[in-house]
């Protein structure tokens, strides 16, 4: 119940295309859903995050879509660029108090020039 399932494991997208990464959870008490971007040899960097009272959040080329009833959320990267090639992790914070963050398994994105 504490898992966050992420798919696909890897993704190849043409430059300019849309990258879509999906995550699903079971614990309806999760109340904070961040996405992290990680480049090789670096720590994860917070990309964008959403709370369950919002169905969509957009920041530049990055959009989170959140479906509370389906317990799913996804990251959309519009106009994907080679510089977006990285590993992306979805996550959810565990109540009470969000003391822990549960990470998905990660998606390795490669954007072809």
Partner 1 sequence: GAVVSQHPSWVICKSGTSVKIECRSLDFQATTMFWYRQFPKQSLMLMATSNEGSKATYEQGVEKDKFLINHASLTLSTLTVTSAHPEDSSFYICSARRGQPNQPQHFGDGTRLSIL
Binding site for partner 1 (CB under 8 A): 31-32, 34, 36, 41-46, 49, 51, 89, 93, 97-101, 103-106, 108
For residue 21, what are the contacts with CB-CB under 8 A and spacing of at least 6? 6, 7, 8, 11, 74, 75, 88, 90, 107, 109
In the chain, the N- to C-terminal Cα span, in Å, equals 39
Measured from the CB atom, is 74 or 89 closer to partner 1?
A: 89
* Residue 75 CB, nearest approach to partner 1 (Å): 15
Q: Which is nearer to partner 1, 20 or 102 (CB)?
A: 102
Show Cβ contacts of residue 25 under 8 Å, excluding neighbours closer than 6 positions.
3, 4, 5, 71, 72, 73, 92
Query: Which helix (H) or strand (E) covers residue 45, if one does?
Result: strand 45-50
| Residue 44: CB minimum distance to partner 1, A | 5
The nearest distance, CB 54 to partner 1, in angstroms, is 14
Least Å distance, CB 34 to partner 1, is 6
Write down the number of H helices and E strands in the chain.
Answer: 0, 11
Q: Which is nearer to partner 1, 38 or 65 (CB)?
A: 38
Our CB check for partner 1 shows the closer of 74 and 93 to be 93
């Amino acid at each position: 119940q504490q898992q966050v399932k992420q798919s696909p494991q890897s993704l190849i997208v043409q430059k300019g295309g849309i990258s879509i990464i999906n995550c699903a959870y079971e614990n309806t008490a999760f109340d904070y859903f961040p996405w992290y971007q990680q480049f090789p040899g670096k720590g994860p960097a917070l990309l964008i995050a959403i709370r369950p009272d919002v169905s969509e959040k957009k920041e530049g080329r990055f959009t989170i879509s959140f479906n509370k009833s389906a317990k799913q959320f996804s990251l959309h990267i519009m106009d994907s660029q080679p510089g977006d090639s990285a590993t992306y992790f979805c996550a959810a914070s565990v109540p009470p108090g969000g003391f822990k963050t549960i990470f998905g398994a990660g998606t390795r994105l490669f954007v072809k020039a």
